[in-house]
Amino acid sequence: MRRALVGSRSFGEFVSVGEETLIKAGFEVRRVRAEERPLDASQMTRIVARESPDVIICGAEPITEEVLRASRKLRMVMKHGVGVDNIDLDVATDMEIVVAYAPGRNAAAVADFTISAMLALLRGYCEASNSTKAGGWKRYMGHELGEITVGIVGTGHIGTEVVKRLGGFGATMLAYDVVKNADLESTYSVCYVALEELLETSDIVTLHVTLSQETSNLIGARELEMMKESAYLINTARGELVDEGALYHCLKERRIAGVALDVFATEPPESSPLLQLQSVLATPHIAAYTYEAMARMDRTCAETILDTFSGKRCPNVLNPAVYDSFRA
C-alpha cells in the first residue's frame, strides 16, 4: 500500500474530499502529529524517515535535501498551495522526485480577502469597532475604493482575480509584472508601469508575487520611501517580500498610513514589533482559508497524486522532465 504523509496543516483539516479520494484509491494517509510541530528541517527529516512515505503533501514546512533523502520510497512532493520556495526543486529533480502544486485554486479566496482588507483600511473598520465596543461613538472618515488608485504587484492568478473585483468598484488600476496581461489591459483598463511609478502613484499597493531571490525584500526602505504618506500596503503573498524592519520604522514615523499583513517572515510572528502598532491590521495567514478554496486545493492535490502514480502527465508538475524516468 502506498503511503501519503501529510505535513500540510490544512489538507484534510476542513474538508474531506482530498483525503477520501486518496483512501478510496488505496493510499494510506498519515498525518504529522500536532505535538511534533513546529516543523523545522531536522524534525521533518525524522518524521519522513519514520513514516517512509511514497508522497509528501506539504504546506510551508521545509522540504530540504535531507528530507527528500529520508525516505527511499519517496516519489512525489505535492504542495498544498502555490508557493514552492520551501521545496528544494533542484535536488528533487536530480532524485527523480515529481514536485507539483495547486495553482489558481485559492485565487478567488485570496482576492476576496484582499478586497476586504482594502475596505477595512480605507474605512477604519477595526478602529471603529474597537472604539464603539469600548463605549465610544466617534465618526470615522474614510475613502471610497472607486475613487482611488490601486497598484497591483503581480498579475498572475491571484492578481488577475483582484483586478476583476476592483473593476466593479471603478478603481484606477496600475500593475507591475515582468509579464503583461493584455486581457487585463483591454478589458479592465489596467496600466502596466514600472514598480517605482506604481509605488509613487498608488493609494493602495497590494502584493501578489511569488517569493524568489529576485522578490525577497522587494519592498524595502527605498520602496517604502517612494509611497505616499496617505498610502496603504497589503501583503497576502509571502512575508519575506517586505523588509519588516524597514516597514516598522516607516510606520513608526508615520511615513505611510498603514498596512494589512496576512503573512510574516516568521510565523507566528510572536515577537514582531509590528504587532504593537495601531496602523497594522494583522491576520494569521488566512487569506486562502475558505471551505470552497480548500475543497478545490484538496481535490487537485489528490487527483494530481493519483494521475501521476497512474502514469499520466499533469500540467501542474514543476519538473515534468522527471516523468521520463518516473517509477511509481
168 with 263, same domain? yes
Check residues 276 and 325 and name the one with the higher pLDDT.
Answer: 276
pLDDT of residue 40 exceeding 70, the answer is: yes
Is 50 marked active-site?
Answer: no
* Pair 264, 131 in one domain: yes
| Interacting residues of 10 by C-beta distance below 8 A, sequence separation 6+ | 59, 80, 289, 294, 297
Q: In this structure, how many other beta carbons lie within 10 angstroms of the beta carbon of residue 277?
A: 16
Residue 80 has pLDDT above 70, yes or no: yes
Q: What is the mean pLDDT of residues 106-124?
A: 97
- 120 and 48 in one domain? no
Closest alpha carbon to 43 in 18, 29, 23, 63: 63
Position 130 scores a pLDDT of: 92
How far apart are alpha carbons 179 and 198 in whole angstroms? 16
Q: Active-site residue 208, yes or no?
A: no
Which of the four pLDDT bands, split at 50, 70 and 90, describes residue 83?
confident
**Taking residues 27-55, what's their average pLDDT?**
96
Give the pLDDT band of residue 299 (cuts 50, 70, 90): very high
Report the pLDDT averaged over residues 157-185. 97
* pLDDT at residue 328 greater than cutoff 70: no
Q: Cα separation of 10 and 292, whole Å?
A: 13
Q: Do residues 93 and 321 lie in contact, with contact meaning Cβ atoms separated by under 8 Å?
A: yes
Active site residue 267: yes
The helix (H) or strand (E) run that includes residue 214 is: none
Residue with the three cell numbers 497512474: 310
Catalytic residue among 31, 105, 208, 285: 285
* Residue 83 grid coordinates: 508557493
Per-residue pLDDT reduced to its tens digit, 88-102: 999 999 999 999 999
Query: Confidence band (pLDDT; 50, 70, 90) for 324?
Result: confident
Q: What angle do CA 158, 234, 265 make, to 5 degrees?
A: 95
Same domain, 233 and 124: yes
d(CA 15, CA 204): 34
- On whether the CB atoms of residues 127 and 278 are closer than 8 A, the answer is yes
User: How far apart, in whole angstroms, are the C-alpha atoms of residue 50 and residue 48?
Assistant: 5
SS3 213: coil
Residues 6+ apart with CB under 8 A from 71: 48, 49, 51, 52, 53, 54
Number of domains composing the chain? 2
> Residue 248's pLDDT is what?
98
**Catalytic residue among 225, 267, 292, 313, which?**
267
95 and 150 together in one domain: no
Between strands 191-192 and 232-235, the pairing is unpaired
- Sign for the CA dihedral angle at 283, 271, 152, 78 comes to negative
205 and 86 both lie in a single domain: no
Give the residue-averaged pLDDT of 6-35: 96
* pLDDT higher than threshold 90 for residue 169: yes
pLDDT tens-digit profile of 129-138?
999 999 999 9
* 246 lies in the same domain as 270: yes
Q: How far from each other are the two terminal CA atoms of the chain, in whole angstroms?
A: 12
User: What's the domain range around 162?
Assistant: 107-282
- The C-alpha cell at 66 is 535531507
Same domain assignment for residues 300 and 268? no
- Looking at the structure, tell me whether residues 238 and 115 fall in a common domain: yes
Residue 36 reports pLDDT greater than 90? yes
pLDDT digits (tens, 9 = 90+) for 233-277: 999 999 999 999 999 999 999 999 999 999 999 999 988 999 999
Marked catalytic residue, from 75, 238, 296, 303: 238
Cα 100 to Cα 13, 83, 147, 304, distances in angstroms: 20, 11, 41, 8
Are residues 307 and 262 located together in one domain of the fold? no
pLDDT tens readout for residues 21-31? 999 999 999 99
pLDDT (0 to 100) of residue 260? 98
And the C-alpha cell for 153?
Answer: 504587484
DSSP result, 245-303:
HHHHHHHHTTSSSEEEES--SSSS-TT-GGGG-TTEEE--S-TT--HHHHHHHHHHHHH
DSSP notation for 191-205: EE--HHHHHHH-SEE
Residues 59 and 185 in one domain: no
| Contact (CB, 8 A) for 91 and 67 | no
Q: Is the dihedral of CA 71, 76, 80, 85 positive or negative?
A: positive
| 145-152 average pLDDT score | 98
What is the CA angle 175-282-119, rounded to 5?
50
- pLDDT for 270 equals 85
Q: Are residues 86 and 124 in the same domain?
A: no
Q: What is the CATH number of the domain that holds 27?
A: 3.40.50.720
